[in-house]
Amino acid sequence: MVLNILWFIIWGLLWAMYFALDGFDLGIGILFPFFAKTDQDKKAMLESIGPVWDANEVWLITAGGATFAAFPITYAYMFSFLYLPLMLILYGLIIRAVCLEFRYKVNNPTMISLLEFGFFLGSLLPALLLGVAFGNIFQGLPIDQNGYHGNLLTLLNPFGLITGILFVVAFLLHGSLWLSFRTEGDINVRAKSIAKKLWFVTLFFAVLFFVSAYFVTNLYSNYFSMPILLVVPILCVIGLLGAGFFINSSEIMAFLSSAICIIFLTFTGVGGLYPNLIPSSINNAFSLSAFNSSSSQYTLAVMTIVVIIFVPIVLFYKFWTYKTFSYKIKEGKGEGY
Amino acid sequence: MDAVMLSRLQFGATAMYHFIFVPLTLGLGILVAIMETLYYKTKNEVYLKMTKFWGRLFLINFILGIVTGITLEFQFGTNWAQYSIYVGDIFGAPLAIEATLAFFLESTFLGVWLFGWKRISPKMHLISIWLVAFSSNLSALWILIANAWMQDPVGFVLKNNRAEMTDFFAVVFSPYAWLKFTHTITAGFVVGSFFVMGISAYHLLKKQNVEFFKKSFYIGATFGLIASVLVFLIGDFHAAEVAHVQPTKLAAMESLWNTEKAAPIYLILVPDESKKTNLVEAFPIPSLLSLLAYHDPNATVRGLNSFPENDIPPVTPVFLSFRIMVGLGTLFIILTILAWWYARKDKLLEHRTFLKIMLYSLPLPYIATQVGWILAEVGRQPWIVYGLLRTNDAVSKNLTVGDVLLTLGVFIVLYTALAVLDFALLIYYARKGPLETD
């Protein structure tokens, strides 16, 4: 039973890591057509995420794999119920990766604009739809003994859309903060000025999310019954305030604050869901929880040992990579991808 | 068509597209790492140029391998939910371990290698490409451990209406898994070496960058010779293991309908599935099948007719795939011996016909790896987990034909566009040659 709780936390952590890391490079993809004015801007933007975006995306694969290994029943239902949105996310990620990779390998102008548009769309779709999916999970999905009773349109309800837009604007803020951290000169100044505007937009949607969550979800009941847990949403708010506070004084602190905001936003949702991974909006008896949808204790134990040994190694070399590639991209010297 | 058939088509199509890109990644990654090692040791600029030229082709291909793989992981959940519920206790673990051990390593150090030329020491740069090459093969290990469990389920009990893992090490050290893994990666090495030899042959025929491509060809030929011999030997052991754990697949591979003692292999054979017999059987080599399958010339091999009718896989595609694979495997050994010999004696330019053969042989290992998978996966039918769970019972319950048809269509259009773009870029940069790089 302890292992179930541990894996519930790991499940949340993997999604949080994915959003905090891929979040900024998705954000840069969405920002791309609006921000980049010259070829140099484009190269700088792509170089800023070039060495890390691919490894960032692996957190999504790991989150998927860990859900499969630890909560196979949730894995099966989550992805078969959310069939079309998940497929759209996957198409987005495929198109995005290829467009990003091939942008500077082709020289036909039509092809280039097509690839640039694909990079934008492939960044926007996953950000928005993951937000919509999680917004719906927070509300609960219409599940009973006969399975799932929703479709793509029922997912596009107001709260789902609010969460989706919150993801998009938070990733945009996160991306522009990363861009200001990785660049100098004119791009840096412009990235900061966009980040300031995005900060207010993110704040607006965050407030809208937290207020409407009170009315349409049960996310707060865990927090009211165990007030100590309120530290999680408070840290999310502190992260957001920190991002705004540090924009001018410290680029790295502003970026890290926005990462903290995203991580604890995810945990606010996950903590509110506990013990469910996918609550049923019809009857809680059909909710998929950390206890009724999990693997055997044996498998959870094996996976725990794997995680204890290998995740620190992964974190170590990933940290090293970020350190190696945290240099400032000189104005007019971006390498592209 | 129903959702099961469409889901099978969808999984089959995405898996086969994925496996256009993966084998080259497995082989070419190691070849690029060898080239960079030679540069590191000798400081000879030609090896640096080689690393960059072949490395660029590697990168173009690599990204396609990654993106086409992501969709496969999620299809277990989207289309095969009942399967995922039934085997998730066992099957999910290797997938999660694959991501944790291999994917992070692979993607992180690929970024380091690509952007690190001026940022890290030459030694660290060299280590990066070896980590990329190593981890792409490591990822093959974990996914094949998962796949091998579907072929030969071990280390579990049936409990709570599903298969629950009881012995992780039985799953990880399953002989089937290791035979499949070594057979698959050595096949990938053959793909990589024929890729290098084929493109080198193209330039040698045009007498462009002769020294550069002679050296490349020699590296490809040496690696290819070792790989071709290994893939064949391991394949033989693998077939014996198939005979042991999947008798229906073995019988389908040889289109053997009736149980026979000292079973022969027919050089010419035409199966007739509707009549459950063979239309033509000619030129038998006595006892060869018994010998290959059980390493005993007098062993009895069970024929397809001795199994219940609804346990028999489709015979013709399995039979044909096996013949094509073995035929090509034999050809690869002959070609790589010649290639290695001519390259070693520096006689490549004198043998223009041979160079042409090597250029046009470039797609053959791709064909061999594709039919290898058809054999492995179609031969497993009608089981999704051999002897345990039928494919028909594995599909997601809530899927509508429309949903699967729609996504299948998008996959085919999208993946075809990607494959065309990929090949166009590979051909463009392969023809461009090394002089214009950097």
Start-to-end Cα distance in chain B: 52
Contacts of A302 in chain B (CB under 8 A): 93, 165, 168
Q: Would the pLDDT of B286 be above 90?
A: no
- Site of tokens 């692979």: B106
Percent of chain B with pLDDT over 70: 99
pLDDT (tens digit, 9 = 90+) per residue, B83-134? Answer: 888 998 898 899 899 989 999 999 999 999 998 888 899 999 999 999 999 9
Q: Which pLDDT score is estimated for B196? A: 96
User: What is the total residue count of chain B?
Assistant: 438
CA–CA separation, B266 and B289 (whole Å): 9
Q: Which residues contact A262 (CB under 8 A, 6 or more apart)?
A: A16, A19, A20, A23, A170, A174, A239
Q: Would the pLDDT of A47 be above 70?
A: yes
Mean of pLDDT values over B259-286: 83
Nearest-by-Cβ selection for B93 from A90, A302, A321: A302
A148 in reach of chain B (CB within 8 A): yes
Distance from CA of B383 to the nearest CA of A (A): 19
- Are B88 and A76 in contact (CB < 8 Å)? yes
* Selection from A284, A329, A241 nearest residue A41 by Cα: A329
- The tokens for B228 are 């071709």
B389 confidence band (pLDDT: 50, 70, 90)? confident
| Nearest-by-CA chain A residue for B56 | A105
A299 in reach of chain B (CB within 8 A): yes
Distances (CA, A) of A217 to A152, A291, B277: 19, 21, 63
Query: What does the mean pLDDT of chain A come to?
Result: 91
pLDDT (tens digit, 9 = 90+) per residue, B59-75? Answer: 988 888 888 888 888 88
CA–CA separation, A252 and A326 (whole Å): 10
pLDDT (tens digit, 9 = 90+) per residue, A85-127? Answer: 888 999 999 999 999 988 888 888 998 999 999 999 999 999 9
Q: Any idea what the Cα angle at residue B428 is, between residues B62 and B16, rounded to 5°?
A: 40
> Are B297 and B291 spatial neighbours (Cβ–Cβ below 8 Å)?
yes
Q: Would the pLDDT of A337 be above 80?
A: no
Q: Which pLDDT score is estimated for A335? A: 74
CA–CA separation, A203 and A5 (whole Å): 32
B438 confidence band (pLDDT: 50, 70, 90)? very low
Q: Which pLDDT score is estimated for B435? A: 63
* Selection from B331, B318, B332 nearest residue B373 by Cα: B318
Q: What is the residue type of B34?
A: I
pLDDT (tens digit, 9 = 90+) per residue, B192-206? Answer: 999 999 999 999 998
| Nearest-by-CA chain B residue for A312 | B100
Which of residues 54 through 93 in chain B touch A, CB cutoff 8 A? 59-60, 63-64, 66-68, 70-71, 73-74, 76-79, 81-82, 84-85, 87-93
The CA-based dihedral angle spanning residues B151, B154, B159, B160, taken in that order and rounded to the nearest 10 degrees? -40
> Are B301 and B289 spatial neighbours (Cβ–Cβ below 8 Å)?
yes
- Are A147 and B63 in contact (CB < 8 Å)? no
- Site of tokens 């016909």: B353
Q: Would the pLDDT of B80 be above 90?
A: no
Mean of pLDDT values over B373-394: 88
B391 confidence band (pLDDT: 50, 70, 90)? confident
CA–CA separation, B381 and B243 (whole Å): 15
Cis peptide upstream of residue B382 (ω within 30 degrees of 0): yes
B437 confidence band (pLDDT: 50, 70, 90)? very low
Which of residues 70 through 129 in chain A touch B, CB cutoff 8 A? 70, 72-73, 75-81, 83-84, 86-87, 90-91, 93-95, 97-98, 101-102, 105-106
**Highest mean pLDDT, choosing among A123-127, B350-354, B420-424:** A123-127
* Selection from A166, A100, A99, A95 nearest residue A130 by Cα: A166
How crowded is residue A238: how many other Cβ atoms within 10 Å of its Cβ? 16
- Site of tokens 């089937």: B176
Cis peptide upstream of residue B297 (ω within 30 degrees of 0): no
How crowded is residue B206: how many other Cβ atoms within 10 Å of its Cβ? 12
- For B281, phi and psi rounded to 5 degrees? -135, 115
B263 confidence band (pLDDT: 50, 70, 90)? confident
Helices (H), chain A: 2-35, 39-49, 53-70, 72-81, 83-102, 109-139, 152-155, 158-182, 186-216, 219-225, 231-246, 251-273, 297-324
Contacts of A330 in chain B (CB under 8 A): none
Which of residues 119 through 178 in chain B touch A, CB cutoff 8 A? 119-120, 159, 164-166, 168
pLDDT (tens digit, 9 = 90+) per residue, B338-349? Answer: 999 999 988 888
- Rg over alpha carbons for chain A, rounded to the nearest Å, is 20
Q: Burial code of A306-320, b = ≥16 C-beta within 10 A, e = fewer?
A: bbeeebeebeebbee
- Are B63 and A78 in contact (CB < 8 Å)? no
More confident residue, B220 or B276: B220
Q: Which pLDDT score is estimated for B227? A: 96
* Selection from B260, B281, B372, B274 nearest residue B315 by Cα: B274
- Are A50 and B107 in contact (CB < 8 Å)? no
Contacts of B71 in chain A (CB under 8 A): 90, 94
- Site of tokens 């509110």: A272
CA–CA separation, B259 and B243 (whole Å): 13
Contacts of A70 in chain B (CB under 8 A): 92, 96
Q: Which pLDDT score is estimated for B436? A: 53
CA–CA separation, B94 and B79 (whole Å): 19
Give the single-character DSSP code of A183.
B
- Are A302 and B112 in contact (CB < 8 Å)? no
- Which of A63-72, A249-258, B118-127, B294-303 is predicted with the least confidence, judged by mean pLDDT? B294-303
B396 in reach of chain A (CB within 8 A): yes
Domain boundaries, chain B: 3-254+318-375+400-432
- Which of A243-247, B157-161, B330-334, B369-373 is predicted with the least confidence, judged by mean pLDDT? B157-161
- Are A50 and B114 in contact (CB < 8 Å)? yes
How crowded is residue A285: how many other Cβ atoms within 10 Å of its Cβ? 9
Helices (H), B103-152: 104-115, 122-151
- Are A62 and B76 in contact (CB < 8 Å)? no
Q: Which pLDDT score is estimated for B181? A: 95
User: A with B: how many residue pairs have Cβ under 8 Å apart?
Assistant: 210
- Are A87 and B396 in contact (CB < 8 Å)? no
Q: Which pLDDT score is estimated for A252? A: 93
Mean of pLDDT values over A276-295: 88
